Amino acid sequence: MSRGSSNQVFELIFGLLELHGFHTVDAQASIIGVTPTTINNWRTGKVKALNRGKLDEVIQRVHFLSKRRGVDLVGEPSLCPIVIEEGAGPADLERQLREKWDSVYLGHKFLYYHPAGAMAWKQLLDTGYGSDLLAKGFAAAFDAALDPRVAGERSSLAGLLRWSEGKSCGIDLIGLGPGDGAKEALAIQLLIARAGPKHRLIDWLTYTPVDVSIPLLRMASEQARNLIRDRLPKESWPHFLVRPSCSDFEDGNMGFCGHLSDNPGDRRLALFLGGTFGNLKSEARFVERALGRLLRRGDMLWLEVGVRQARIEDDGLFALSKGQLRDTQETVRRSLVEGPHRRFRASVGAPLDTRMRIIPREGGATCEVPGSYNFVHDVDINPSGQRCSVMYSRRYEIDALRGWLADHGYETRFEQRSKDARGRDRTAHLLLFRARD
């Protein structure tokens, strides 16, 4: 739009108003609280400058427009309200569960969206699952990946963020299925520590936790907000934003991608932790559809997956599949996996009897990645023995997984294993670079 005013302050005001959707003279006058004639005078240069009081009013109004879009509504530093995307809210998941409850495959997303499922998941982590050890393993791997002396100049996360070149950037940090967000908070903490309080290496950082579980999203968001508030001086808070999204990243429309920066100088880093990659119905569909939209060439994925044991009998789930465990962890796992069907049956007045079975499978349609091994969590859903697969728990042969990911355009730049209490590789952490579209 051609404007007669040469005053860049007015140009900035009009530019911000247009970014917020106010394009006409009448709309701009209304939102600023002046007359259309005043707006025209600003545009034509009849008014050369604003007095201090009017400028303060304009600044407050533009600040309000940002708050109106969801920023700074829940304390400092900025924590946005949870945005619930179409098809991903609790009512949507309840409807989908009712439509699918007697199908042959349900899917892991139905385990966590209900508060009872989120609580069962949290209880599972407290039953000797080794979550503290795995969190320490992730922190050690992430810290090593940030250090060019350990990971190498080309392979380090610092190099991929251009820190090794002394350049700053904005970072979109996306947590896919973050659970309570403890590991993602560790990642933010390490990014802040490595950037250094006196170095302008992070222009801004937006953390976007994505899940269908609103209870878990709230935990993840508040952990990140509290960490930023406690670790950074107040003047740095506006550079950090937490924008939670209730979204189905496996099957949904992924509208949260519209909030990510398109600037080629900024970086996107997606964290897919906790073995959730092995819970997907189809890894290939996820990589092609979800990651294909989320990550651009040059962006990064941090992937945590379960490691296949040399003897599959050494995997804890193998013993559980044979009915050899009768402990609290098994009880809580059954409660988690059977929960969706139990809640549905209770809502329609049907008998609550269900039975979880873990069925080991190698190869076939549920093992798309070569060398992977799948522990399929089935639930008997009626007396005739009909089963529904509720969740997959895959273990991967890591070299084969790296080759499979390379075929899909992702180069492995860094790898580190986390061990269990017996010293065996439990999970592998892979830093993946999207090398081609």
Q: Tell me how far apart the alpha carbons of residues 240 and 170 are, in angstroms, rounded to a whole number.
A: 10
* C-beta neighbour count of 65 within 10 angstroms: 16
Q: Tell me how far apart the alpha carbons of residues 153 and 25 are, in angstroms, rounded to a whole number.
A: 53
pLDDT at residue 103 in the model = 86
Q: Is the Cβ–Cβ distance between 243 and 80 less than 8 Å?
A: yes
Token pair listed for 365: 């349609």
Determine, yes or no, domain membership for 170.
Answer: yes
- Based on the domain organization, do 22 and 131 belong to the same domain? no
Q: Tell me how far apart the alpha carbons of residues 265 and 262 are, in angstroms, rounded to a whole number.
A: 9
Q: Is the Cβ–Cβ distance between 390 and 381 less than 8 Å?
A: no
Q: Which domain holds residue 55?
A: 8-68
Final residue in a domain of this structure, among 47, 68, 89: 68
Q: Whole-prediction pTM value?
A: 0.87
Strand partners, 394: 374
Q: How many domains, the chain?
A: 2
- Based on the domain organization, do 52 and 156 belong to the same domain? no
Determine, yes or no, domain membership for 305.
Answer: yes
Token pair listed for 5: 């005013």
Per residue of the chain (437 residues), what is the pLDDT tens digit? 344 444 888 989 999 988 888 889 988 888 888 899 999 999 888 888 888 998 898 888 888 777 666 555 445 567 788 889 999 999 999 999 988 878 899 999 999 999 999 998 888 888 777 788 899 999 999 999 999 989 888 789 999 998 888 888 899 999 999 999 999 999 999 999 888 655 668 888 999 999 999 999 999 999 999 999 898 888 788 788 899 999 999 999 999 999 899 988 899 999 999 999 999 999 999 999 999 999 999 999 999 999 999 999 988 888 888 876 667 778 888 888 988 888 888 888 877 778 888 999 998 899 999 999 999 999 987 777 788 899 999 999 999 999 999 999 999 999 999 998 888 899 999 999 999 88
- Based on the domain organization, do 117 and 193 belong to the same domain? yes
- Nearest Cα to Cα of residue 434 among 266, 269, 279: 269
- Based on the domain organization, do 223 and 277 belong to the same domain? yes
Which residues are within 8 A (CB) of 383 and not within 5 positions of it... i.e. 6 or more apart? none
- Based on the domain organization, do 38 and 86 belong to the same domain? no
Q: Is the Cβ–Cβ distance between 135 and 271 less than 8 Å?
A: no
| DSSP letter for each residue of 374-420 | EEEEEEE-STT--EEEEEEEEEB-HHHHHHHHHHTTEEEEEEEEEE-
Query: Which long-range contacts (C-beta less than 8 Å, at least 24 apart) are formed by 278-282?
Result: 278/305, 278/306, 278/372, 278/374, 278/392, 278/393, 278/394, 278/395, 278/396, 279/108, 279/391, 279/392, 279/393, 279/394, 280/108, 280/250, 280/392, 281/105, 281/107, 281/250, 281/392, 282/368
- Based on the domain organization, do 52 and 83 belong to the same domain? no
